[in-house]
Structure 1
């Protein structure tokens, strides 16, 4: 739940003088030269980024041959990143996959699918460079020069296409709102700056660019007078970050409530078209912590227009009915008990074989709909497919669709309920899947104490919770894997991809001699295109929402309390406790959390508990 991905360098900060100079440069020159239209802004920021990338390549090459110093190299990386941040909102809007792959992706090994085979790829781009130049840069001279050259090449390719790309009015608004999400969920958490933690100056660079774009866009839309609040909020947000002090000192909760959310709502008011929630991100949402921020139907085969109360009620009946299992003894609720926040409180769930358990711990189904991959090993791609795995698993329902449908079609009550929802006299597999999905989709719990505070529905929240949130999103680095607002591995700002992590969870943390849990995780999910060594012991990053109600923790249920979980992360995971873990993606260094900080983290996680509208449903 806590911890930062580790890449190829160590986490150190840039020299303070470099930060101040670069930030000042970013602020004072954002409005120079004057822009007549938004396209001119886009082209100017693109050109600035390309020039910075070219200069970086020159300096990195000189550094390789001892003709440039480390400080000069660090300044060049910083300047390139600040230039990129000005253009990021529009470049990432049109080319998100290219940006992730070549420009600013996470500094971790990943796979590329080639003829259904997985090929392990080294990371590249600005995040990798950020780590390298703040770590042992001398040892990485050749790699730094090579990556800088690649960045220059990819930047040129990207911008050659972008300069032919028209940017429409509403696309600007969407791009800017997505950038606000990106700043909050990946920028100020340190995700984007894994080596330098130079998150605040980069956020200032982004917001300054948004201010420039907004001023010209308002003029183009003839809404200059009505845009005063937007410009004022942007100015105030920039000033707030400039006065924040260090990365650890930033009050992220105040930044969210007073600036990010108001800006997010204010930009929506500029939209001139009716917004339809067809994607995962709901463009019509007015708050990043709004219950409708994400569209749950994006993640399911069930469409919103097909869903209704009758179908949901039918799905609920199926969920609690042991008739679905081969021995008529196990229902979905056996492992996902509403009284236990739709988990089961066991280390590993009971199976249909007496005295045996299933392979792993049961995660909560609350908010489970918000995912593109299911199970700890990510072997299922939809809610419907997730149910299918349970149905066929010999340790769970141990049956098949044909047997279930025969039982349902032989049951007069079920025939009537299905006819009410779908018409016709025969129950089929698609109808069964949609009914069950309807109920699981309804298990949304986004009304916790913290959610209400973030939405300004309550005026106060405990100071310990506030500190815990700021730690979660900052020093403790939890938010770099458990992304807001789902606090899971669903990656912002588009929320269409799930991450998995290698944490090095031990088999028994209380054992005198500890050893890594033998579960192969994602490597054993039987998806051929993901059979790569980097996924050994890699498990889906699940939500921390309702974690206060769903002990024990991790895929093997080996940790009994949240306090123990926090200690595990603070110690650097499996590698930090001395285990040999291949490709651990969690940083192995201690987070150096105090006892008080640990208590605050737990308090924040507890503030995300919410079953009020679900319990007993």
Structure 2
């Protein structure tokens, strides 16, 4: 006691230090790691410096009239360098990325009804494959533009700060980008060099994870990721032929393995989720995990968030004639569950039993699109439902009158009150419950999904060959993106694409269909004339006839149209056709196998 009383200050100080260490250690499990990420930014800067140097070298080759093969080889080197920093540019500078490696199609400013000239690597690819002296001036012009974009990367990454959770999220997105856009050759549609590029994207993921890891390289989780990436790279380097690559085994055996291991890495490293609503769940191990997709990423606001209660109420109303003016038609009249919520007709019938202008689209997976109807005239399902109800040819309903009936209905009103905590049903609530029901129709339980989840007997050998053709020789996945198989672009799923196919009136392909599609609402935008939303292929075997006009009776007719190169392939003058007019050269057997695969996309 004497000793303690003699040194009271020291004792107090000692106690404070012990307690500080105790609580600091206790909190370490949840505290963010104060790690210097300058090494990550330094690697991006180094890669971008090489990118800029290679642009200059390519510019010199073009200016000096070098041979085609020399120019193509230098261009392929340039693309590989971009792939090494793609994960960072796509995530932190998405607007710039669109003009560095986006599709060689105009960027549409919808509000201004204008087109922005495409530029970047895909535009250059079209100029270099094949390359002729006539392309020289344009190649020089676009290479100079690309130099400016490289400078944008440099300036921005000098200025912005990057966090550990952001870097991990970006790397994870890169794996999903590889698993969808990369594996289909989306950004090398002409040269088809994507299988040679993918190893470099994977190497960059491997390096970046090592840079943000707090563990040693021999740590089990990091070691497993490195082994999985090395294994994938080995397979990729053995076969770079897009028409013969084994996609159906590579995705589940390698890419799904890597994305699953990333979640283990995240858990071990205590990396928090990015607080942003995204279409792909933060806890989805793969693209094909159950409940991988979040429908709330496609709703117009938080109050419209999906719930099972909303969907159940929406289902009742969907099947109730109360929504039509004459009480003799419901939504289910034209969207029949057994036909994947289509009606089986070439064109739906009006209230007066006359043909409408277009085919009834499937409502399955419609919740995972930005743009409803074939012409995408409504942004979301809420807008879509009210448009149909009020259309005088379809249901001729009056939302105010309908709400009056609902608010007097002892069956419906209590449910609206319970869900929305309001005294009566309102217009937006009616729209929301109908939209919620449609959002519930995405089941993700097809044989293809089961196969990708590990059940290797879920698809037949013919269907497996069909998938390989679908991704490879058939180039179907360039527009129908894995895993939604619609035009919503992964891995962010923030945009749904439209395409100009040059569709004919019917499967005879003798007369061009004059429907302007999305162009009707954007008359000054040439790129949108005769354009239509890319729908999902899930449950496609149940939704005949096909195309926006219902003119193609069978999937065989549809495949024949694509095989010949779309409208241009049949001699139609479609200057803005986005579908490649190069014939696919698919045999009858190969066509049948692709169709067989599409049957594997049917929900069970």
Shared fold per TM-score greater than 0.5: yes
Corresponding residue for residue 583 of structure 1: 576
1:247 corresponding residue in structure 2: 242
SS in 2 for 1:435: helix
Judge conservation of contact 1:502–1:583 (CA < 8 Å) in 2. Answer: yes
The residue aligned with 1:491 is: 489
The residue number in structure 1 matching 2:143 is: 148
d(CA) in 2 for partners of 1:420, 1:78: 60
Aligned residue number for residue 356 of structure 2:
358
The 3 A distance-change label for structure 1 pair 357 and 75 is same
Alignment equivalent of 2:535, drawn from 542, 545, 552: 542
CA distance in 1, matches of 2:277, 2:373: 25
Q: Is the 8 A contact 1:70 1:133 kept in 2?
A: yes
1:257–1:119: structure 2 CA closer, same or farther, 3 Å change rule? same
Map of 1:392 onto structure 2: 390
Indicate conservation of the 8 Å contact 1:46/1:87, yes or no: no
Q: Is the 8 A contact 1:302 1:438 kept in 2?
A: no
Structure 1, residues 268-316: CA drift from partner, whole Å, max 9, x if none? 1222245467212222111111232221111124759964443322111
Partners of 2:241 and 2:36 in 1: how far apart? 36
Aligned to 2:418: 420
Looking at structure 1, the residues matched to 528 and 403 of structure 2 have their Cα atoms a distance apart, in angstroms, of 37
Give yes or no for contact 2:389–2:396 (8 Å, CA) kept in 1. Answer: yes
User: Against the structure 1 CA distance between its residues 411 and 221, is the aligned structure 2 distance closer, same or farther, given a 3 Å change threshold?
Assistant: farther
Q: Which has the higher contact order (CA 8 A, sep 6+)?
A: 1
> Which of residues 129, 132, 135 is equivalent to 1:134?
129
Give secondary structure in 1 for the equivalent of 2:535.
coil
Q: 1:118 to 1:419 in 2, by over 3 A?
A: closer
Q: Residue 184 of structure 2: SS of its match in structure 1? A: coil
User: Structure 1 residue 97 and structure 2 residue 95: aligned?
Assistant: yes
Secondary structure in 2 matching 1:427: coil
* Cα 1:237–1:400 shift into 2, 3 Å: same
Structure 1 position 452, deviation (Å): 0.4
Question: Do residues 110 (structure 1) and 107 (structure 2) align?
Answer: yes
Q: Which residue of 2 aligns with 1:522?
A: 518
| DSSP-derived class of the 1:284 partner | coil
3-state SS in 2 of match to 1:124: coil
Aligned match of 1:441: 439
Distance 2:107 2:370 in 1: 18
Q: Take 1:570 and 1:281, find their aligned partners in 2: how far apart are those partners?
A: 33
Secondary structure (helix, strand or coil) at the match of 1:412 reads coil
Residue 407, structure 1, aligned to residue 405, structure 2: yes
Q: Using a 3 Å threshold, how does the CA distance of structure 1 residues 302 and 310 change in structure 2: closer, same or farther?
A: farther
The aligned residue for residue 261 of structure 2 is 266
Match of 2:22 in 1: none
- Specify the structure having the higher radius of gyration (Cα): 2
Map Cα deviations across residues 384-436 of structure 1 (whole Å, 9 max, x no partner). Answer: 01112112212112223112112212323222332333344422112212221
* Within-5 A mapping of 1:313-328: 313-328=312-327
Give the match's secondary structure for 2:364: coil
Residues 52 and 79, structure 1, Cα contact 8 Å, conserved in 2? no
Offset, 1:343: 0.8
Q: Separation in 1 of the partners of 2:136 and 2:193? A: 21
Give the unaligned 5+ runs of structure 1: 1-35, 613-617
Q: How many angstroms apart in 1 are the aligned matches of 2:399 and 2:57? A: 62
State the partner residue of 1:6. none
8 A Cα contact 1:351 1:357, kept in partner: yes
2:166 corresponds to which residue?
A: 171
Q: Does 1:47 align with 2:46?
A: yes
Q: 2:155 aligns with which of 144, 160, 179?
A: 160
- Superposition RMSD in Å: 2.1
Cα displacement (A) at 1:50: 3.3
The answer on 1:593 being equivalent to 2:590 is no
Alignment partners' CA distance in 1, 2:415 and 2:131: 66
Aligned to 1:604: 597
Give distance in 2, aligned partners of 1:74 and 1:136.
Answer: 8
| Residue in structure 2 matched with residue 215 of structure 1 by the alignment | 210
Q: Contact 1:277 / 1:295 at 8 angstroms: preserved in 2?
A: no
Q: CA deviation at 1:40?
A: 2.3
Name the counterpart of 2:7. Answer: none
Contact 1:516–1:581 (CA under 8 A) maintained in structure 2: no
What is the deviation of 1:186? 1.2
Q: TM-score, length-normalised on structure 1?
A: 0.88
For the residue of structure 2 that corresponds to 1:242, the secondary structure is helix
1:238 aligns with 2:233: yes
2:519 and 2:473 map into 1 onto residues whose CA distance is: 31
Structure 1 pair 294/39, CA: closer, same or farther in 2 (3 Å)? Answer: farther
Aligned to 1:20: none
Q: What does residue 21 of structure 2 align with?
A: none
Query: Take 1:82 and 1:309, find their aligned partners in 2: how far apart are those partners?
Result: 46
Q: Is the 1:43–1:163 Cα contact (8 Å) retained in structure 2? A: no
Find runs of 4+ consecutive structure 1 residues off by over 6 angstroms: none
1:229 paired residue number = 224
Match of 1:198 among 190, 193, 201: 193
Distance between the aligned counterparts of 1:499 and 1:402, measured in 2?
Answer: 34
CA 1:222/1:190 → structure 2, altered by over 3 Å: closer, same or farther? closer
SS in 2 for 1:413: coil
Shift of 1:61: 4.2
User: CA 1:215/1:70 → structure 2, altered by over 3 Å: closer, same or farther?
Assistant: same
Alignment: residue pair count = 566
The answer to whether 1:189 aligns with 2:187 is: no
Report the Cα offset of residue 470 of structure 1: 1.1
Distance 2:87 2:127 in 1: 25
The Cα of 1:225 is off from its aligned counterpart by: 3.6
User: Contact (CA 8 Å) 1:476, 1:593: kept in 2 or not?
Assistant: yes
In the alignment, is the contact (CA less than 8 A) between 2:459 and 2:600 conserved in 1?
no
Residues of 2 paired with 1:290 and 1:380: CA distance?
A: 30
1:571 to 2:571 alignment: no
Paired residues of 2:221 and 2:265 also in contact (CA < 8 A): no
Could you state the TM-score of these two structures normalised by the residue count of structure 2? 0.89
C-alpha displacement at 1:357, in angstroms?
2.1
